[in-house]
Every structure is written in C-alpha cells, then in structure tokens.
Amino acid sequence: MNQPFVLSTSSRTRPSPYYDATVAAGVQGFSVYNHMLLPTFYVSAEEDYWPIINGVSMWDVAVERQVELRGPDAAVLATMLTPRDLSKMKIGQCKYIPMVDHNGGLINDPVLLKLAEDHFWISIADSDVRLWALGIAGALGLDVTVTEPDVSPLAIQGPKANDVAASLFGEWVRELKFFWFREFDFDGIPLVIARSGWSKQGGFELYLRDGSMGTELWDRVAAAGAPWDIKPGTPSTLERIEGGLLSYGNDMTLENTPFEVGLGKYCAIDQEADFIGKAALQRVRDEGVTRNQVGIFIEGDKIASNTRRWPVWSMDDEIIGEVTSAAHSPRLERNISFAILDMAHQEPGTPVRIDMSDCLAGDGSRDIREGSVAPLPFIS
Amino acid sequence: MNQPFVLSTSSRTRPSPYYDATVAAGVQGFSVYNHMLLPTFYVSAEEDYWPIINGVSMWDVAVERQVELRGPDAAVLATMLTPRDLSKMKIGQCKYIPMVDHNGGLINDPVLLKLAEDHFWISIADSDVRLWALGIAGALGLDVTVTEPDVSPLAIQGPKANDVAASLFGEWVRELKFFWFREFDFDGIPLVIARSGWSKQGGFELYLRDGSMGTELWDRVAAAGAPWDIKPGTPSTLERIEGGLLSYGNDMTLENTPFEVGLGKYCAIDQEADFIGKAALQRVRDEGVTRNQVGIFIEGDKIASNTRRWPVWSMDDEIIGEVTSAAHSPRLERNISFAILDMAHQEPGTPVRIDMSDCLAGDGSRDIREGSVAPLPFIS
C-alpha cells in the first residue's frame, strides 16, 4: 500500500470555523466533504473510537452544510424534495429524508430541520444539494430562497454526552427528545441544539450560527467535558459500520434507489403529495430490486478501511457486487463491511471472495480474502 | 504552520483510472475534486512546474468529469445552461462556458464539447453540475438524459506536447486547432483528443472512454514522451496564477457573477436565446459591479500557496476584499496572487496589507504582509 498521502488544500477546500481548535487539539488527518475539510482522526481510528463507545467525544462536523429554504414556497419545495411524508412534521423536529431525482436515484440522505412554517434547513451529506434545489426552484418559479447560511454543527457523541450537555446548557437538555431541537442563546453564542448525530451512541449536534465563534464554542465544550474526560474525535467509520449507519457517496450514490440500501421504510411513495421521483419509485417497488445491501464478514488479519470499492465474487468466480465500506470492529474483533450484492446471494452465511486491493502491487498481485454474508446491523 | 496533514480516503473519494499509474510514478499529494482524488504533486510544486514551462508534462485530470447531455432536447438544455452564445457551435468544437444560476451566481466554469447535434459533454470544474442539470431537465420535462459517462481526461501540457502527441497519434494532430477535438481509436483505446488543457503552455487533453485502460494509456504516453523527457505532473497553481487562469471554488463561487471575475466577455447577455440567469445578468450589467478581480504582488519571503482565503486591508485598515489564490512565481521570482477587491482599490500599484495566517499560531499572532495591486495576467 502507498498510503498515507499528503492532503493539498486551497481556499476551494474551506477550513471549518473549528479548524484552529482542531489543529490545536492535535488533528492529524482530514478528508474533503462538501468542499470543506473534515477532520478524520486525532490518534488513530481505533484510539478515537473508544471514547464514543464508553465516554464522550466532540466532533467538528461543520461539513454538514445547511441548505436553507425560506419563503412562501419553502414547504412546497421541501415536500417535493423527498419521498418522506412531511405532512405532520412539527416546528422543532428533525427528519431523516432520503432525496431522489426524477429517476429515483439518491441525491443525498440529509436531515431536515423545520425552524418555522416557511423556514427549513437541509443538513446535507456530501453532494451539492443546493444546486439541485436551486435548479428546481428556479425552473418552476417557486417563491423561495435557497442559501447556505453561516451554520456549522459541532457534535457531542457518546454515553456521557447527556452529562456534558446538561453541564453546558442546563438540565432541560436531558429531556430533549431524539430528533427534536431547540434554538438556544448560549451566553451570546447562537445555537440550535438537536438530539441527533451520526453515531448509535447518542448525543447532540450544536448548530453554531456564527462562524466567528467556532474556537470559543469548541473551547467551552472541551472545558465542560473535562470532568467526563471528553476527547476530540470524528465520525467513526468503525462505529457507524458496526451500527449500520450509511454514508452517502460510500454506500449509496445517484446510481442507487432507496430500496437497494435499506431506505425504503422512509419512502411514503403512495402519499398524496407529489414528490420528485414518485412515479419512478412506484415502478421500482412494483418491479422489485435486483440487488440489495448486506453485511459481509471478511476473514483473516485485521484490515484497514477500504479506499475504493472492492469487487465481490461468488465461490464460482462470478462478480456479484461490491464492498462499499469496510473496517475492523473493535467490539466484535472481526472485519466487517457493507456490500451491495445481487439478490441471489443475500442469505446470511453465503461464502464470498473479496478483492481488497486498494492499489495494485508493483507485480500486479492482488489481496483476495474469504468472507461471508452477514445480517445488518452488526451491533444493534 | 501545521501542514502537511494526512489525506483520509474511502470509496466516497474515488480513485481515477490512472491512480495505479500515478502511484507507480511517485505521486505524493492529492486533493479531492468532484468526489475523486486529484494528484497535486510528485516532487514539489516548483520541481513539477518547470517541465510544463520548458518541456512536457502529463497529468491525471480524470476529476474533470463529464456531464453528458443526450437526446432530442440536449441542445435546448445546453443553451439554457450558459450565457455563452452556442448558436454557431460546430460538432468537434470546445467552448469555455461559464454557467450561472437564476440570480447570476456562478455554478461552474466548464468546457463544453459538442459530439453531435444531440450529444454534448460538459467537462466540469469542482461542483455537482449533474445535479443542477438534472434538476432543471426534470422540472421542465425535457427529453434529454443527463449522465456521467466513463470518460477520464489525461492532459499532456507544455511546449513539447505537440511532438509527443504527433509521435503517439500521427502528424495530423499538429494541425488540430485550439479548442477543437477529434474522436480517435488509438490501437483499441477509445479517445477523444482535444487541443486544450488548464495551462497557458499549450497541449492536449485525451478523453479516455474506457476506464479499464487507464494504466495502458498512461504507460503509452510516458513511453512515447521519454525522448522529450516527459514528467508526471499536475495542474500547476504556480503556472495558472502567472497566466491568469481561474479556478472554480478558489477564485469564484456561487456568490460571484461572471462580471466580477473577468468572465463578462463570455456572456452574450443580449442574445436571442433564453438562458438561465439572463435577467439577473442584464441587471448586473446595467447596475455595474461593486468588486472586481485584480492581481496582488505580495512582498517579502517566498510564500507557500494559501490554504484559505486571506483578508486584504487598505492602508487605513479597512477590509477591502480577499486573496483567493496565491503562489510564488518561479519565472517572476515574486509572490503573486488573485484577489477580489472593492472597486475603489483597483488601480495598479495601490498598496495593501494581506493577512496570510492560514492557521492562528498558538499565541494568536498573525502573518501580515505588504502588497500592491497588479494588472492581470502576470505573464501573458
């Protein structure tokens, strides 16, 4: 393998409002996500993982940009943009909303926040949802502005997140329900506080509404978390594969419908409202899918996470799909992965072979492993 | 400074068809561009620069993804997507086409290739143009498919590019005119060969139409170029700032109109055809701009390129704009940059101050330099 490589940055790959603070905290690696720098590790993937499981971890996830819909047609546009039924959504609520194009292909899988009847944030994964929404709003002449406001989430995740948040914001925050939020003035730092976050360990996302206050917010969270030994961390590939959380761009793309990646349950495809992709998703539902997401255990030595998709073969050497994300699970002490496989190979226990070659060795040799299909999630 | 950082990759940051070849050639750094890995240097920014100026250099620019428009309404959609006048565009021609939204903000600044009357490629800079085009085509019910085909450009740039290309493809290629292309079967490797590329030194872009042949094409170009001492290289921040070439995401974003960044000359805003943003651009033309792109010489020691935008002050300590891209010019032996400045500070020679702090030092201190406004391009 030829990793690690140096990340070259420019103003095209914007630093987050927490950048200075994360550098001071010892960040070592970044990816690029929504045209911004996403911290990826401080010590190592495994060292950074345990505080999320057993303690509490704080993450710069400012790359979760907000696409703000505001104006008389904001609710009309929000409803068009997802197969999820939004008809009963309340102010103060979050909803996970797969978004699809007119052919039913996944555009993104963001979280929608309803701030007012005419004011929404779409908290996006890694694709330019703003361009998608602008194109539709403009073409249809909707009366709505589609902007990227100055909003940058900081996540606090782990079983001790409640204690840290209560010490920062007051006891009320313990009562905040999952996927609900509250606007909060934190000693002059304007926040939206949501019980949410991209782990299965629970916690909060603090949507900072003034990018000039990033270091101040980071430092206050770090200080308040010290009694619980809070650590700087990042979204964990290990934890999220264990828990069955998908990553847009890794585990699904515009080439997938929601039905192939376990997101059918969020699609109210017979709802009264018209949404983009409705006819296409009804057709897929009627015809059925030809491939579907499964887990795969990968045998042998501890693996590093994949840096490209890995081909998967049946035992009679037929290509049957691809591994999309893989990691070594510290809790299971096994190599685990997500894959999209043809329907004939979905049965748990089915043996497969995986080509784990992220880059061909100089002699052209490949790294092939044995594996077996597993049910998802790996840890519930 | 705290650079360099490690780049963390996953299948979300796709490797190019030339990835194995670039690793074998000694690539050391990458950025992420259009959700793919973009090689950024082999030896160093300056070592990689000289072959582009004096010899010939080969670049993996597969990140220039193609958005393919195909079908009865392909030309209708292409015309809507840019203020550039396409009415006389011929098959086999390339055109640089700024694209704007309904408010006149820049979506991207791609190159359009016309393969047939109903078949176009938009060779994009770093934003999801496919989502933009899909949203518009879907909302308007246009009869056109908008896909990302298996096409991956490899660039050959520099004064000796003609000799290398002629030895590979035949003498005909010397006659290919600037911004024209030809489809070509290169011993079974399907190519579109264009005289184009993101430098001012001349050369070709080979649009490979079969990603499985990346290493084969790379190796053949490297072998044919050996007599001219071809080097592996990358788009050069140094060369492109010297020559006045803009970078989408660095030097312009959705917050800029074409008129602020020297792209007004590509906007036929009074053309007969309706294009997206026409009314907005006519309004901007009539009202005039409040800021505009200029060059700035930065005094003092040799600088590294910026990793975020740098604030610019007037000599009476008023914020007057931002440096968007900066580098040390090996040919001028001076620090040069692009900036967007308020209209009152456009005069060449105007003294300014620049805050070059990419990250605050631990003691909060900043790196402030003197500079002066310069005309563009730095080298014509």
Residue B207 sits in a domain whose CATH number is 3.30.1360.120
Tell me, rounded to whole angstroms, the distance of Cα B147 from its chain centroid.
21
Chain segment A231-256, per-residue pLDDT in tens: 999 999 999 999 999 999 999 999 99
Closest CA of chain B from A15, distance in Å: 7
Chain segment A279-305, per-residue pLDDT in tens: 999 999 999 999 999 999 999 999 999
Closest-CA residue to A308 (of B14, B152, B214, B23): B14
Q: Are residues A275 and A335 in the same domain?
A: yes
User: What amino acid is encoded at A142 in this protein?
Assistant: L
**Whole-number Cα distances in Å, A337 to A73, A248, A309, A333, A370:** 41, 15, 11, 13, 13
Mean pLDDT score, A301-312: 94
Per-residue confidence (pLDDT) for residue B4, from 0 to 100: 85
Query: Strand A5-7 relative to strand B29-33: parallel, antiparallel, unpaired?
Result: parallel
Q: Are residues A216 and A345 in the same domain?
A: no
Q: Residues B86, B95: contact at Cβ < 8 Å? A: yes
Q: Residues A370, A299: contact at Cβ < 8 Å? A: yes
Encoded tokens for A238 = 């290990």
Closest-CA residue to B36 (of B207, B153, B197): B153
Mean pLDDT score, B117-146: 98
Query: Strand A231-233 relative to strand A57-60: parallel, antiparallel, unpaired?
Result: parallel
Mean pLDDT score, B243-251: 98
Inter-chain residue contact B29 with A19, CB threshold 8 Å: no
Q: Are residues A273 and A336 in the same domain?
A: yes
- Give the closest of B15, B324, B362 to A308, CB-based: B15
pLDDT band at B36 (very low <50, low <70, confident <90, very high): very high
Q: Residues B192, B100: contact at Cβ < 8 Å? A: no
- Percentage of chain A beyond pLDDT 70 is 98
Q: Are residues B237 and B294 in the same domain?
A: no
Residue carrying structure tokens 């971890």: A57
Which residues 129-148 of chain B have a CB within 8 Å of chain A? 129-136, 138-140
Mean pLDDT score, A153-157: 98
Residue A244 CB neighbours (<10 A): 17
| The last residue of a domain, from among A171, A206, A241 | A241
Kindly state whether residue B208 falls inside one of the protein's structural domains: yes
Per-residue confidence (pLDDT) for residue A328, from 0 to 100: 97
Residue A229, CA atoms < 13 Å, CB-side half-sphere: 8
Q: Residues B122, B109: contact at Cβ < 8 Å? A: no
Three-state SS annotation for B36-69: EEEEEECCCHHHHHHHHHHCCEEEECCCCCEEEE
**Strand, coil or helix: A120:** strand
Calculate Rg over the CA atoms of chain B. Answer: 21
Q: Are residues A308 and A250 in the same domain?
A: yes
| pLDDT at B136 exceeding the cut of 70 | yes
User: What amino acid is encoded at A306 in this protein?
Assistant: N
Which of A27, A32, A306 should one mutate to test binding to chain B, selecting the residue with the greatest count of B CBs within 10 A?
Answer: A32
Which residues 331-370 of chain B have a CB within 8 Å of chain A? 359-360, 362
The total number of structural domains in chain A stands at 2
Kindly state whether residue B336 falls inside one of the protein's structural domains: yes
B284, containing H or E segment: helix B278-287
Q: Are residues B224 and B337 in the same domain?
A: no
Q: Are residues A179 and A252 in the same domain?
A: no
| pLDDT at B2 exceeding the cut of 60 | no
Task: Measure the CA–CA gap between A201 and A299, rounded to whole angstroms.
Answer: 27
Q: Are residues A236 and A200 in the same domain?
A: yes
Inter-chain residue contact B139 with A134, CB threshold 8 Å: no
Helix axes B129-140, A129-140, angle to 10 degrees: 30
Closest-CA residue to A336 (of A285, A296, A379): A296
Per-residue confidence (pLDDT) for residue B345, from 0 to 100: 97
Chain segment B283-302, per-residue pLDDT in tens: 999 999 999 999 999 999 99
Per-residue confidence (pLDDT) for residue B3, from 0 to 100: 66
Q: Residues A206, A191: contact at Cβ < 8 Å? A: yes
Can you name the residues that pair with B325 across neighbouring β-strands? B338
- Residues of A with CB below 8 A from B77's CB? none
Closest-CA residue to A254 (of B67, B18, B70, B16): B67
Task: Measure the CA–CA gap between A38 and A15, rounded to whole angstroms.
Answer: 8
Mean pLDDT over the full length of chain B: 96
Chain segment A46-57, per-residue pLDDT in tens: 999 999 999 999
Per-residue confidence (pLDDT) for residue A358, from 0 to 100: 79
Closest CA of chain A from B67, distance in Å: 13
Task: Measure the CA–CA gap between A151 and A64, rounded to whole angstroms.
Answer: 9
Q: Residues B242, B329: contact at Cβ < 8 Å? A: yes
- Residues of A with CB below 8 A from B136's CB? 135-136, 138-139
A115, containing H or E segment: strand A111-116
- Residues of A with CB below 8 A from B11's CB? 249-250, 306-309, 324-325
Q: Residues A192, A183: contact at Cβ < 8 Å? A: yes
Per-residue confidence (pLDDT) for residue B359, from 0 to 100: 73
Q: Residues A97, A108: contact at Cβ < 8 Å? A: no
Mean pLDDT over the full length of chain A: 96
| pLDDT at A263 exceeding the cut of 60 | yes
Burial class (CB in 10 A: 0-12, 13-18, 19+), B276: buried
Chain segment A194-234, per-residue pLDDT in tens: 999 999 999 999 999 999 999 999 999 999 999 999 999 99
- Residues of A with CB below 8 A from B107's CB? 131
Task: Measure the CA–CA gap between A241 and B7, rounded to whole angstroms.
Answer: 21
Q: Are residues A190 and A54 in the same domain?
A: yes
Residue carrying structure tokens 């800029």: B256
Kindly state whether residue B1 falls inside one of the protein's structural domains: no
Tell me, rounded to whole angstroms, the distance of Cα A255 from its chain centroid.
18
Per-residue confidence (pLDDT) for residue B362, from 0 to 100: 64
Kindly state whether residue A158 falls inside one of the protein's structural domains: yes
| The last residue of a domain, from among A196, A224, A241 | A241
A80 vs B361, more confident: A80
**Strand, coil or helix: B162:** helix
- Residues of B with CB below 8 A from A12's CB? 31, 126, 247-250
| pLDDT at A3 exceeding the cut of 90 | no
- Residues of A with CB below 8 A from B140's CB? 139
Can you name the residues that pair with B149 across neighbouring β-strands? none
DSSP state of A344: G
Residue carrying structure tokens 């805003």: B269
Kindly state whether residue B215 falls inside one of the protein's structural domains: yes
Check CB contact of A253 with chain B, cutoff 8 Å: no
| pLDDT at A361 exceeding the cut of 90 | no
- Residues of A with CB below 8 A from B24's CB? 362
Inter-chain residue contact A135 with B136, CB threshold 8 Å: yes
Residue carrying structure tokens 């009804």: A282
| pLDDT at A1 exceeding the cut of 50 | no
CATH number at residue B374: 2.40.30.110
| The last residue of a domain, from among A186, A210, A241 | A241
Closest CA of chain A from B358, distance in Å: 9
- Residues of A with CB below 8 A from B12's CB? 31, 126, 247-250
**Strand, coil or helix: A373:** strand
Check CB contact of A380 with chain B, cutoff 8 Å: no
Per-residue confidence (pLDDT) for residue B106, from 0 to 100: 98
Q: Range of A333's domain?
A: 242-374
Q: Are residues B159 and B217 in the same domain?
A: yes
- Give the closest of B23, B134, B250 to A359, CB-based: B23
Interchain CB contacts (distance < 8 Å): A and B: 189
Kindly state whether residue B81 falls inside one of the protein's structural domains: no
Chain B residue with minimal CA distance to A41? B8
DSSP secondary structure string for all residues of A19-68: HHHHHHTT--EEEEETTEEEEEESS-HHHHHHHHHHS-EEEE-TTS-EEE
Cβ neighbors of A103 (< 8 A, separation 6 or more) are A277, A280
Q: Are residues B155 and B61 in the same domain?
A: yes
Query: Strand B291-298 relative to strand B334-342: parallel, antiparallel, unpaired?
Result: antiparallel
Task: Measure the CA–CA gap between A109 and A252, rounded to whole angstroms.
Answer: 9
Check CB contact of A128 with chain B, cutoff 8 Å: yes
**Whole-number Cα distances in Å, B78 to A291, B128, B138:** 34, 16, 14
Residue A39 CB neighbours (<10 A): 28
Kindly state whether residue B217 falls inside one of the protein's structural domains: yes
Closest-CA residue to A195 (of A187, A186, A207): A207
Q: Residues B259, B290: contact at Cβ < 8 Å? A: no
Q: Residues B128, A127: contact at Cβ < 8 Å? A: yes
DSSP state of B139: H
Kindly state whether residue A178 falls inside one of the protein's structural domains: yes
pLDDT band at B1 (very low <50, low <70, confident <90, very high): very low
Q: State the pTM of this model.
A: 0.97
Closest-CA residue to A28 (of A14, A16, A39): A39
- Give the closest of B29, B130, B131 to A8, CB-based: B29
Buried b (16+ CB within 10 A) or exposed e, A84-116: bbbeebeebbbbebbbbbbbbbbbbbbbbbbbe
Buried b (16+ CB within 10 A) or exposed e, B296-330: bbbeeeebebbbbbbbbbbeeeeebbbbbbbbbbb
DSSP state of A187: T
Mean pLDDT score, A87-105: 98
DSSP state of B252: B
Q: Are residues A252 and A177 in the same domain?
A: no
Cβ neighbors of B87 (< 8 A, separation 6 or more) are B79, B271, B272, B273
